A and B are shown apart, each in its own frame.
Chain A
């Protein structure tokens, strides 16, 4: 990794720059038991979403600990994780931070799970793992733009 990559949030270093530059960094919490997925997505979001800070956790429990002590603007988590599954984690995350939008990111993109994610965890979006990098970034940007609670609108 070059020294330039240490400040990947530079606006000129990104392909997609939001119409309105954020006042402060967006903080996105990623929860997935697969470290490789976490690492890649963190890099993708840092590079593609200007002014974002990415926090990662490899379990629901670790994710909740982060939520208790850090300010977070968006949560994206996997469904199938050992121990606490994605729905359970998001339900508890909602109790802790009701205003923070939640995204479920899963390979089990069927109607039953989507319904549970919406009715139990009240997710704002349900991303199948078939979403490619560009589509995922587009969707997250759209979500950030339309969410008045988020720093991009301040």
Chain B
């Protein structure tokens, strides 16, 4: 081979090497430019020597703004000296991996990144700086946080369900244990008051009446607590059937007529109407009795209480309108929550359990209806109303013929007087 040929071949080789090197450089540049990870190089003092578009997108600075400046402009205030540790490791030729580091954007907002920094070497193998790849973890962190939050919520729900179950168990057990002494107490007082062999003296009878009335109050409270416990455990049910609502209302009102006469209260009820609906007559009657008991409790002698029945097409509305104490606007929304009592110090009547209206709400809602109260304010009377869909609840429980026995599921009439 001639010298010229060799020279030519050498030149070709060198040219190819140069071309290859240029190709490699442009390919790398393209990768750096198009990378979604931020790629930044810095010298051994921490000054930025290159800054790719992803860095600009990530931190908000253009290359012109950061070239020649210290990398610590990205560090949160007070953490700048951490860079010294990184540079020390780079100088020793060791790569640096940082996960979940907080950095600051140009606009001052926080960004979370992972950093992989590797030493840059010159031809002689000396460290001249570092190339760092920064990955934006903000989205990943948000997702992780969302997952953690979701997991926490699930745990919280399970915890609350546990508490609720325990609470229900506790109330059930407490109510059961309370009935055990209450049954003989009520029975014995009844026996003493009705005994034909040993009649109590007037003074003894007075005492027995007080005991009896207090026992009835206690019995109502225990029964209301049980009802709420059952409702919370999802055991409260209704037994619906086709009924004439007007007839159910008139029957429930009968027990109040005597009380109305005694107190000189004019009680008006709808007569001569028939409203056929699908509902649980016991529960509806219980709700009405509860609303009327309240009306009587807060209506002074000689005033008026009326029960109104309105046909609204799909629904029927029952209202108990009294001319009594009335309710302040602020108290209206709290009426149907458990253990709420709107106390009026001018009233001397015995308070109830604070559960009555809450229980009414449960029963009406089981029917797919709504319940509410309106009042023009203190001293101006109030209206308690409920609506019922005529065709019954959307998911009407199937009435079980076997246990529609008269005595079954019978609820205690709160106005029922156990004592003569």
Contacts and interface: CB of A to CB of B under 8 A. Distances in A.
Interface of A: 2, 4-5, 13-15, 34, 36-37, 39-41, 43-44, 47-48, 80, 103, 107-112, 114-115, 118-119, 124-135, 139, 142-143
Contacts of A108: 172, 176
Residue from B182, B197, B216, B223 with most neighbouring chain A CB atoms (10 Å): B197
- Between A80, A127, A129, the greatest number of chain B beta carbons within 10 A of the residue's beta carbon is seen for A129
A126 B409 contact: yes
Contacts, number: 118
Interface of B: 172, 175-176, 179-184, 186-188, 190-191, 194-198, 216, 219, 222-223, 226, 230, 233, 235-237, 400, 402-403, 405-413, 416, 418
14 contacts: A2-B198, A4-B197, A15-B194, A34-B184, A43-B187, A111-B235, A128-B223, A130-B179, A132-B219, A132-B412, A133-B187, A133-B190, A134-B416, A134-B418
Contact of A34 (B180, B197, B237, B410): B180
A41 B407 contact: no
Given A118-B405, A126-B407, 11 more contacts: A2-B197, A13-B197, A14-B196, A47-B191, A118-B400, A124-B405, A126-B408, A128-B223, A129-B183, A130-B412, A132-B219
A147 B278 CA distance: 30
B175 A107 contact: yes
A62 B237 CA distance: 34
Contacts of A132: 186, 190, 216, 219, 412, 416, 418
B179 A5 contact: no
Given A2-B198, A40-B183, A132-B219, A125 B408 contact: yes
B187 A131 contact: no
Contacts of A80: 176
B230 A125 contact: no
A34 B223 CA distance: 20
A133 B407 contact: no
A129 B236 CA distance: 17
Given A37-B184, A40-B188, A135 B416 contact: yes
B222 A130 contact: yes
